[in-house]
Structure 1
Amino acid sequence: MKTYQQNGNHNFLIINQKTLKKVLVDNVVLLKGDVNYTTIYLRYGIQKVVPRSIKFFESFLETHGFLRVHRSFMINPNFVKTYNQEQDILVMINGQEANISRRRKHTIKSFVV
Structure 2
Amino acid sequence: MKALVIEDKEYIRKGLLNLLQLVDTEVEVIGECESVKEAVVVANACKPDLIFLDINLTDGTGFDFLEQTESLNFKVIFITAYEEHALQALKIGAIDYLLKPVDIEELELALQKVSELSITKQKQQVKIVKEVWNNEDSKLILSLHDSFQVIDLNELLFCESDKGYTTFYCNDNKKYMVSKTLKEFEERLSKANFTRPHQSFMVNLKFIDKYDKSGVIHLKNGKKIPVSSRKKEQFLNAFLHWNNH
Give the TM-score range, shorter chain.
0.7 to 0.9
Q: Are 1:25 and 2:153 counterparts?
A: yes
**Relative CO higher for 1 or 2, CA cutoff 8 Å, sep ≥ 6?**
1
Which stretch of the first structure deviates more once superposed, 4-13 or 45-54? 4-13
Q: Are 1:16 and 2:122 counterparts?
A: no
Which segments of 5 or more consecutive residues in structure 2 lack a partner in the other structure? 1-87, 90-128, 241-245
Shift of 1:7: 4.8
3-state DSSP of counterpart to 1:59:
helix
Which segments of 5 or more consecutive residues in structure 1 lack a partner in the other structure? none
Mapped to 1, the partners of 2:167 and 2:234 lie a distance apart of 24
Q: Are 1:43 and 2:146 counterparts?
A: no
3-state DSSP of counterpart to 1:78:
helix
Aligned-residue sequence identity (percent) comes to 22
Tell me the residue number matched to 1:59.
187
TM-score, normalization by structure 2: 0.42
Mapped to 2, the partners of 1:48 and 1:97 lie a distance apart of 19
Amino acid at match of 1:57: F
* Cα shift readout 1:11-66 (whole Å, capped 9, x = no counterpart): 11111221111111111111011021111111121111111111111011111121
Amino acid at match of 2:151: V
3-state DSSP of counterpart to 1:32:
strand
Amino acid at match of 1:76: N
Mapped to 1, the partners of 2:210 and 2:219 lie a distance apart of 7
3-state DSSP of counterpart to 1:45:
coil
Tell me the residue number matched to 1:72.
200
